[in-house]
């Protein structure tokens, strides 16, 4: 019951406050610290002269070290907070909300929409480069809109649903451990010469860690579509998920992305550039309309509706658990 209450408080705080710039410009964000540690260790032990097998082994043990440290740190923080009794619940909620990304994600997405409105294509390309890992200088208006909505959909899983899932299972250690793994994947989980072998363990384990959360994200999005949109949006999203989700290069990202593509009736994915290399990926919801800047606003509405569903489910679970415990 305490974890559910902490999660509810943390999600509310994150939605209102997000990542306050005035705080994180004075002290480093915990995820940034994790990122610096990963970069430091990778530079020290990922040597070009090493064999592919040795790189995999070193990458695996580096990840193991990071996860052990994250779990241990999370456990220490949790045990310290326990001594604060009920006030400790609020403290842990404040700590947990640091690792959620509702407001920060929506703010970055909104920046892209505002860039279109105020400064045009070049500013929008720069804004979208903050949330995607692909080359944005060659993107036209539709491609920028697709990339933005795809990032919103995928990160609704990676940045909110998955952290909630792992917190429910393992508390603060599970939450910090997941964010460590996800950060490692975002930094070294690439299939290029430098990271293909060294980042193999991070990429594979991240796929496993996000397997259930990605599908839960699609389900929560479907529930939001059922309650706040026309019924055709729900059935179209379900159809696109079943038809296109497994065609994605990622075993997980296709699920929330297809839910958004079908729910908003727009095309997502499709051909794109990574490191100036053209990658010919299939469209999701090929029969949908071409994505436009206004669709970014529609996607944000769907995102917050999905977050409302998540919060409602947690509150409902807390009430049921409390009644059973009487």
| Residue 186 burial (10 A CB sphere; 0-12, 13-18, 19+) | middle
Alpha carbon distance 146, 142 (integer Å): 6
- What b/e readout covers 131-168, taking b as 16+ CB neighbours within 10 angstroms? bbebbbeebebbbbbbbbbbbbbbbbbbbbbbbbbbbe
196-208 pLDDT, tens per residue?
899 999 999 999 9
Find the mean pLDDT for residues 8-21.
92
User: Residue 188 in contact with residue 60, Cβ under 8 Å?
Assistant: no
**CA nearest neighbour of 221 among 131, 304, 289, 145:** 304
Chain-wide mean pLDDT for the chain? 91
- Secondary structure (DSSP) of 6-31: HHHHHHHHHHHH-S-HHHHTTS--HH
**CA nearest neighbour of 243 among 253, 254, 232, 231:** 254
Nearest 5°: the CA angle 254, 256, 261 is 85
264-282 pLDDT, tens per residue?
999 998 877 666 666 778 8
Residue with tokens 């658990």: 321
Q: What per-residue confidence (pLDDT) applies to 100?
A: 96
Find the mean pLDDT for residues 27-31.
91
User: Residue 210 in contact with residue 162, Cβ under 8 Å?
Assistant: yes
What residues have CB less than 8 Å from 322, skipping those under 6 apart? 1
Alpha carbon distance 288, 260 (integer Å): 11
User: Residue 63 in contact with residue 202, Cβ under 8 Å?
Assistant: yes
| Range in 6-15, 106-115, 133-142, 156-165 with the lowest mean pLDDT | 133-142
85-141 pLDDT, tens per residue?
778 888 999 999 999 999 999 999 999 999 888 877 888 888 888 888 777 777 888
109-122 pLDDT, tens per residue?
999 999 888 877 88
Question: Which run of H or of E encompasses 56?
Answer: helix 52-82
Alpha carbon distance 326, 324 (integer Å): 6
Sign of the CA dihedral running 140, 242, 246, 178: positive
User: Residue 176 in contact with residue 165, Cβ under 8 Å?
Assistant: no
| Range in 13-22, 46-55, 269-278 with the lowest mean pLDDT | 269-278
Task: Locate 218 and state its tokens.
Answer: 């699609």
Find the mean pLDDT for residues 223-237.
94
User: Residue 153 in contact with residue 257, Cβ under 8 Å?
Assistant: yes
What residues have CB less than 8 Å from 138, skipping those under 6 apart? 273
């Amino acid at each position: 019951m305490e974890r559910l209450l902490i999660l509810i408080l943390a999600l509310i705080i994150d939605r209102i406050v997000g990542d306050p710039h005035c705080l994180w410009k004075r002290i480093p964000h915990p995820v940034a610290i994790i990122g610096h540690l990963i970069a430091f260790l990778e530079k020290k032990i990922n040597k070009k002269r090493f064999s592919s097998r040795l790189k995999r082994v070193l990458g695996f043990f580096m990840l193991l070290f990071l996860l052990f440290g994250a779990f241990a740190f999370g456990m220490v923080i949790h045990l310290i907070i326990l001594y604060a009794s009920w006030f400790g619940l609020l403290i842990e909620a404040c700590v947990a909300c640091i690792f959620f990304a509702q407001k920060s994600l929506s703010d970055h997405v909104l920046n892209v929409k505002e860039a279109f409105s105020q400064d045009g294509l070049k500013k929008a390309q720069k804004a979208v480069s903050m949330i995607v890992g692909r080359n944005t200088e060659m993107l036209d208006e539709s491609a920028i809109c697709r990339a933005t909505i795809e990032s919103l959909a995928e990160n609704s899983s990676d940045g909110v649903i998955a952290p909630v899932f792992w917190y429910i299972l393992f508390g603060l250690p599970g939450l910090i451990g997941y964010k460590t793994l996800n950060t490692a994947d975002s930094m070294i989980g690439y299939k290029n010469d430098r990271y293909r072998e060294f980042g193999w363990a991070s990429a594979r384990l991240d796929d496993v860690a996000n397997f259930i959360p990605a599908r839960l994200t699609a389900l929560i999005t479907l529930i939001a579509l059922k309650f706040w949109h026309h019924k055709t949006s729900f059935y179209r999203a379900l159809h696109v998920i079943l038809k296109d989700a497994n065609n994605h290069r990622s075993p997980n990202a296709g699920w929330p992305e297809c839910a958004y593509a079908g729910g908003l009736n727009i095309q997502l994915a499709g051909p794109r550039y990574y490191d100036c290399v053209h990658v010919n990926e299939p469209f999701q919801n090929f029969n949908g309309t071409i994505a436009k800047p206004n669709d970014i606003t529609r996607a944000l509405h769907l995102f917050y509706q999905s977050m409302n569903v998540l919060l409602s489910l947690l509150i409902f679970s807390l009430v049921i658990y409390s009644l059973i415990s009487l």
